[in-house]
Amino acid sequence: MRRTLAIVLSCLLAGGAALALEPGTDLYVPSVAHGQGQEVNGVRAQWRADLWVFNPGTQAATVDMFLLLRNQANENPDSRRITVNPGEVRHLPDVILGQFGRDNTYGALRITADRPVYVTGTSYDANVKVDAKQRDAGTAGQFFSGIPAAQAIGVGELTDIVGLDQDGLQTAGLWRSNLAFVETTGHSATLNVERLDGAGQSLGMIPVSLRPREAKQLDGVLTTIAAAPGTNQRVRVKVLAGPGRVVASASHIDNRTGDPSTVDMAGGGSDGTYLCKVDKTSYDTPITLQIADGTITHLEATIVVTDEDVGAACTGGELLRFEQTLDPAVALEDGTFSVSVGGSVTGITVTLQLEGGVDGYGGIAGQVTTTLGGSTTCKGSKTWPLVGARLR
């Protein structure tokens, strides 16, 4: 008779599949402005930003907007409060001037609310002309959505900004790309910003430091990192040190018209609930792990003791069940983890060792070792692959 050791780890699952636009109570827009930009074809860009806040709930939402100025710490930022009624969309045109009364101002926005809201907007040049002689100006701009603070990356985590071009210096080529960051926790962070080509080969890297809730933008980011122009490039942002967390986005800009497109961050922080499996030869068993603030915080386990994993003559059928909040939580070290849990039942000790890493794109991989002891016959250990993904 073939017996098995089935191990199930589970915890309360949070959320469903990720949406293109997510509601939140703490959201960031990494780059907004009311001021001049680059000159194209003899015409100076005039950057503006509009904001829309949608309350999908059944109660009024109190929404606070914080202006995070570029290239400085923003520990006590200027703020404005609005109320958004149930089912209402508030449109805030030229939000920097209209809400904050600021001209010639560049930075980011933090939007907090007492209930989940959607935030969308546009950043646009309000002075688009075919040439300097054209009388009436049009607009060209990019859509953006509020990035939830939960997507910010911390120490050891990374995000990629994919699909950037810089085929000439400054505005000499057809395209240029800018990169914007903002720190989200009120603490400092040290970043590494790396440029990679389409094949993933590194073309250079530079350090970037962010102060508490500082907004920063690297104009012409590709040639800022490495002098040679290039197309089909990406930028990788990794947090090296500090307790701060970071969100990022880029603008891919047509030099002929000044028209930008938003490039969202790929990947993000490790926080969330991960549904995994122990990838065994004859059957798989599920595992879920809860990660918060870059640490594994909680798991629940049910262990059925038999002999599949250790090749020993176990009688089988005994159940060991426990729910465990890890105290202290197990930290992810540069995206990797090692966590051990265990217990005993009817004279058999059971230990489960998980080792692996989180890849920054919602994936998790590693290995699981199950060990039985305390019995003259039902003892031994075996290691299996661990694979999985984050639920949202």
Q: How many CA atoms lie within 13 A of 88 on its CB side?
A: 13
| Peptide bond just before 328 cis, omega within 30 deg | yes
Q: Which of 251, 50, 42 is nearest to 128 (CA)?
A: 42
Q: Answer whether residue 230 shows pLDDT above 80.
A: yes
Rg of the chain taking only CA atoms, in angstroms: 25
* Model pLDDT for residues 301-317, shown as the tens digit of each residue: 766 666 666 656 665 55
| Helix H or strand E encompassing 117 | strand 105-128
| pTM for this entry | 0.79
* Model pLDDT for residues 145-164, shown as the tens digit of each residue: 999 998 899 888 889 999 99
Q: Answer whether residue 6 shows pLDDT above 60.
A: no
| Helix H or strand E encompassing 50 | strand 43-54
Percent of the chain at pLDDT exceeding 90: 52
Query: Higher-confidence residue: 169 or 367?
Result: 367
- Tell me which of 11-15, 22-26, 182-186, 254-258 is least confident: 11-15
Residue 103: pLDDT band (50, 70, 90) is: very high
Tell me what pLDDT residue 319 has.
Answer: 62
Q: Which residues make Cβ contacts (< 8 Å) with residue 201, sequence separation at least 6? A: none
User: Residue 385 — φ and ψ, nearest 5°?
Assistant: -65, 150
The SS3 assignment for 322 reads strand
- Tell me which of 2-6, 26-30, 254-258, 386-390 is least confident: 2-6
Domains of the chain by residue range: 24-267, 271-391
- Tell me which of 182-186, 196-200, 218-222, 339-343 is least confident: 339-343
| Helix H or strand E encompassing 234 | strand 230-241
User: What is the rounded distance in angstroms from the CA atom of residue 293 to the CA atom of residue 275?
Assistant: 18
User: What is the rounded distance in angstroms from the CA atom of residue 173 to the CA atom of residue 9?
Assistant: 54
Residue that has been written with the tokens 């949070």 in this structure: 14
Query: Higher-confidence residue: 334 or 214?
Result: 214
Q: Answer whether residue 9 shows pLDDT above 50.
A: no
Instruction: Average the pLDDT over 177-203 and give the result.
Output: 96
Tell me what pLDDT residue 344 has.
Answer: 78
Percent of the chain at pLDDT exceeding 70: 86
User: What is the rounded distance in angstroms from the CA atom of residue 308 to the CA atom of residue 284?
Assistant: 12
Q: Which of 111, 99, 101, 93 is nearest to 51 (CA)?
A: 93
Tell me what pLDDT residue 188 has.
Answer: 97
Residue 320: pLDDT band (50, 70, 90) is: low
* End-to-end CA gap in the chain: 41
Whether the CA torsion 346, 347, 348, 349 is positive or negative: it is: positive
28 in Cβ contact with 108 (< 8 Å): yes
Encoding tokens for residue 326?
């890890």
User: Residue 274 — φ and ψ, nearest 5°?
Assistant: -110, 125
Q: Answer whether residue 129 shows pLDDT above 90.
A: no
**CA 265 to chain CA centroid, nearest Å:** 7
User: What is the rounded distance in angstroms from the CA atom of residue 288 to the CA atom of residue 299?
Assistant: 7
CATH 2.140.10.10 fits 24-267, yes or no: no
What is the identity of the amino acid at 182? V
Tell me what pLDDT residue 279 has.
Answer: 85
The SS3 assignment for 221 reads helix
* Model pLDDT for residues 324-363, shown as the tens digit of each residue: 888 899 888 878 899 988 877 777 788 889 999 988 788 8
Instruction: Average the pLDDT over 244-252 and give the result.
Output: 95
Q: Answer whether residue 185 shows pLDDT above 90.
A: yes
Which residues sit opposite 180 in a β-bridge?
217, 249
364 in Cβ contact with 246 (< 8 Å): no
Q: Which of 369, 367, 391 is nearest to 381 (CA)?
A: 369
Residue that has been written with the tokens 């962070």 in this structure: 189
